[in-house]
Chains A and B, each alone.
Chain A
Amino acid sequence: MNPEPTADTGVLAEQAPSSGAEPPAPSPTSGVGEPQPGGTVLAYLSRFRVLARWEVALLATVVAVFVVGRVVSPEFLTSYNFFDMGISNGELAIMALPMTLIVATGEIDLSVSSTLGLASSLLGLLWMHGWPMPAIIVVVLACGAVLGAFNGVLVTRVGLPSIAVTIGTMLLYAGIGEILLGSNIVSNFPATYTNIGVYGVPGIGLSYSTVIFFGLAIIFGAVLHFTPFGRSIFAMGANQEAAIFSGVRVKRTKTILYIVSGIVCSGAGILYTFKLSTAEYDNGTGLVLSVVAIVLLGGVSIFGGKGSMVGVVFAVLIYAGLLDALLLTGFPQQASGIVIGGLLLLSVLVPSVPEFRSRLRAGRHRLQRQAPEAAIVHSGSVAQPRLTGDSSSKAGQGGQPI
């Protein structure tokens, strides 16, 4: 009997702050008085924490990473090193932006790095055939749009699960890139373009890909957080059925996002090719899992409906800073996966801690309630206590919020 009232006050306390400035009448009149003011404040604080917690934690991590980086190497906080970090991670970071929006709708796009690779192959192939560079860039971006649209149509119109579709198109697009360019390596691009791998943006010093990333992050962030389009992304991610019934054009929105992802990733492919001044079929292979890791680390829920662009930008900074700091300390570069994987694991485990604790607590209550019953039946048959244990555990699991 004990848990029920506490659960009720919990609900009341949850509702109280949402009614905001309304007179605090309900709490005195409801009579339960005592625990409620404390509960209200706690609930209010916890709600505030839910809003701010993740981004604040990420920001603290960013600061920690940069402080540690400065401690391990005096070269860490130099403009040259910032340029270097941007050059190594710029394309990855750019691909994380459309991925954020797609994951927020509850879908995923695993074909991003293959789109980058295909764009690189196409760029090399057309250049090999003597096309003018501006025309090539337009064609490559258009091709990216087509690739994205193909994903989008399969996911929205045919109704296939996006994870399976994009594993397929990941292979398919990488394969088309291989077929297009074969074992050719194109590297005679004009210096005007390949200089982006050597020089930063004049006056800023950061790499072009970094500047483009921050520019796009502002645009994508504004779209996600300050437009009806962005709200509809969160709406369909949180509850697709509800979004459809409230008139959100779910299929169209998702298709648009996949097309945008295709364009942005092929743009990243162009940057990647110029940066290395090499077009090869296997450019960008394997980047996709890092992109997904960054987006999830940034606090975007894999089930959709939750996340913020600020979080993803912080996650990019953590990823780039951490890899760079590890590199400067001479940590084997490949093994840095331990750190990235550890962060990713933390990013899913930490938010689940409160629920885990409440489940533990629920389990303890259940045991306490069960104890006398079990003691009574214990002298009876063996099957009896097991049965009651089963049914009450079922009730406990069914009743808890998921």
Chain B
Amino acid sequence: MTNLDGALAQPTESPQRLVDLVFRLREYGIIAVLVVFIAVTTGLQPRFLGQQNIKFILLNATIFALLALGETMVVVSRQMDLSVGSVLGLSAYVSSNLFGQVHGIPIPVVFLAGIGIGVACGVVNGAIIALARVPGLVVTLATLYIIRGIDISIVGGGEVVASSLPAHFLAIGSDSVVGIPYVTMCVAVVIAAGAYFLRSFRSGRELYAIGSNPDAARLVGIPIGRRVFSAYVASGAIAGLAGVLWATYYGTVDSTAGTGYELTVVTAVVVGGVAIFGGSGSVIGAAFGALLLSTIATALYALNVSPFWDPALDGLLLVLAITLDRTLAVRLANAMRKRTFRHEP
């Protein structure tokens, strides 16, 4: 009886388990790479794991990991948000400039303003993409220019300097508890919430369904437009929040804040195992991708390697990561086909 049950359960369950295993391996893989990389670097330069250095790495990774959360939500649904760097810049300037314009403005209001700017940008992106059904890549490429242009015309030649910002505000980006910055902890909570949403909520799963097969998703009744719209709004809100955090961290904000971040974020997301054409990948993986990139940059510095090596290594890592993903996917498909054949007769 049990034997028969096992035999019956086998064909239906094992491919599922195999897929799960491979995806989990991908997530653990990036953590393993990170651990090995840190171990090697620490072996060569014992001071690498000093408290100050860890704090530096975490602070650097925090903003990218946060942006990676929003980008993941968009990328799993087979879209892309290239406007995050510009949104970050606009939000960073406008929100931190509020301190100079409104005397004694409470810090939470500044955060809300930054997030509000992000939401507004996300609504514009999402509405255009969902209503006109045009590719998000092109629309956000356009809004990348437009939002940056708006930022530049608002900023002009000026900048917000750290001395004009309240100490409490700057403390958010620099203070830490037991070596871990506050802001990293807060972002970790946000990322955990985002990961839980994408993994366990119906609308989160529907984003994967849309990315994996848009036609099938439409046929099973998933409101594609609404979901994609929400993903862009979420990504915008997150980029807005990241802008305020950017201001707390750097203190000095001019019109170039966040320039070029969009492609770094996409790199982090893809290195973290999110398929560029949607349907698979996790928020946690993407966050570790961001952490890995930031660790590499710091490790080069610690090892006295010229920082000029950094982009080349990031690029190489990205190419290796997608090659590995592709190889795994092909292997997996073959393995599953074999299993199906074995159980068919």
* Residues of chain B within 8 A of A286, CB atoms compared: 259-260
Residue of A nearest to B83 (CB): A341
Judge whether A135 is part of the interface by a CB distance below 8 angstroms.
Answer: no
Shortest 8 CB-CB contacts between residues of A and residues of B: A175-B312, A172-B315, A171-B315, A341-B145, A338-B149, A168-B318, A175-B311, A337-B145
What CA separation (Å) do A168 and B321 show in the bound complex? Answer: 10
Contact with A along B170-199 (1 / 0, CB 8 A): 000000000000000000000000000000
* Residues of chain A within 8 A of B145, CB atoms compared: 289, 293, 337-338, 340-341, 344
Of the candidates A174, A178, A335, the one whose C-beta lies within 8 Å of that of B149 is A335
What CA separation (Å) do A163 and B322 show in the bound complex? Answer: 11
Of the candidates B149, B260, B276, B318, the one whose C-beta lies within 8 Å of that of A337 is B149
Q: Which of A350-367 contact B (CB under 8 A)?
A: 352, 355-356
Judge whether B39 is part of the interface by a CB distance below 8 angstroms.
Answer: no
Residue of A nearest to B80 (CB): A163
Residue of A nearest to B148 (CB): A337
User: B105 → chain A, closest Cβ, in Å?
Assistant: 27
Contact with B along A323-350 (1 / 0, CB 8 A): 0000000001011111111101100110
What CA separation (Å) do A159 and B328 show in the bound complex? Answer: 13
Take A165-B322, A334-B152 as given contacts and tell me if A171 and B311 are in contact as well, using a CB distance cutoff of 8 Å.
Answer: yes
Which of B28-36, B129-137, B334-342 interfaces with chain A? B129-137
Question: Which of A172, A281, A296, A335 has the largest number of chain B CB atoms within 10 A?
Answer: A335
Q: Which of A172-190 contact B (CB under 8 A)?
A: 172-176, 178-179, 182-183
Q: Please state if B149 and A336 are interface contacts (CB–CB under 8 Å).
A: yes
Q: Please state if B146 and A168 are interface contacts (CB–CB under 8 Å).
A: no
Of the candidates B132, B135, B137, B219, the one whose C-beta lies within 8 Å of that of A398 is B219
Judge whether B102 is part of the interface by a CB distance below 8 angstroms.
Answer: no
Q: Please state if A161 and B219 are interface contacts (CB–CB under 8 Å).
A: no
Judge whether A256 is part of the interface by a CB distance below 8 angstroms.
Answer: no
How would you classify the secondary structure of chain B's contact residues: helix, strand, loop or mixed? helix
Interface size on B, residues (CB 8 A): 51
Judge whether A303 is part of the interface by a CB distance below 8 angstroms.
Answer: yes
What CA separation (Å) do A398 and B276 show in the bound complex? Answer: 26
What CA separation (Å) do A338 and B317 show in the bound complex? Answer: 34
Judge whether A104 is part of the interface by a CB distance below 8 angstroms.
Answer: no
Which of B55-63, B227-235, B302-310 interfaces with chain A? B302-310
User: A286 → chain B, closest Cβ, in Å?
Assistant: 7
Q: Please state if B267 and A178 are interface contacts (CB–CB under 8 Å).
A: no
Q: Please state if A172 and B156 are interface contacts (CB–CB under 8 Å).
A: no
Of the candidates B149, B255, B263, B322, the one whose C-beta lies within 8 Å of that of A160 is B322
User: A326 → chain B, closest Cβ, in Å?
Assistant: 11
Take A164-B276, A334-B149, A335-B153 as given contacts and tell me if A154 and B323 are in contact as well, using a CB distance cutoff of 8 Å.
Answer: yes
What CA separation (Å) do A109 and B220 show in the bound complex? Answer: 35
Q: Please state if B153 and A332 are interface contacts (CB–CB under 8 Å).
A: yes
Number of A-B contacts (CB under 8 A): 157
* Residues of chain B within 8 A of A296, CB atoms compared: 138, 141
Interface size on A, residues (CB 8 A): 52
Query: Which residues of A pack against B, CB within 8 Å?
Result: 110, 154, 158-161, 163-165, 167-176, 178-179, 182-183, 281, 286, 289, 292-293, 296, 302-303, 332, 334-342, 344-345, 348-349, 352, 355-356, 390, 394, 397-398
Q: Would you list 17 pairs from A and B whose C-beta atoms are within 8 A, ordered by A residue?
A: A110-B263, A154-B323, A163-B137, A165-B322, A167-B318, A168-B316, A168-B318, A175-B311, A178-B312, A338-B145, A339-B149, A341-B145, A341-B149, A344-B145, A345-B143, A349-B134, A355-B133
Residue of B nearest to A343 (CB): B142
Q: Please state if A171 and B318 are interface contacts (CB–CB under 8 Å).
A: yes
Of the candidates B143, B156, B221, the one whose C-beta lies within 8 Å of that of A341 is B143
What CA separation (Å) do A293 and B144 show in the bound complex? Answer: 11
Residue of B nearest to A164 (CB): B276
Q: Please state if A341 and B142 are interface contacts (CB–CB under 8 Å).
A: yes
What CA separation (Å) do A169 and B317 show in the bound complex? Answer: 10
Q: Please state if B315 and A175 are interface contacts (CB–CB under 8 Å).
A: yes
Question: Which of A154, A160, A338, A397 has the largest number of chain B CB atoms within 10 A?
Answer: A338
What CA separation (Å) do A168 and B50 show in the bound complex? Answer: 31
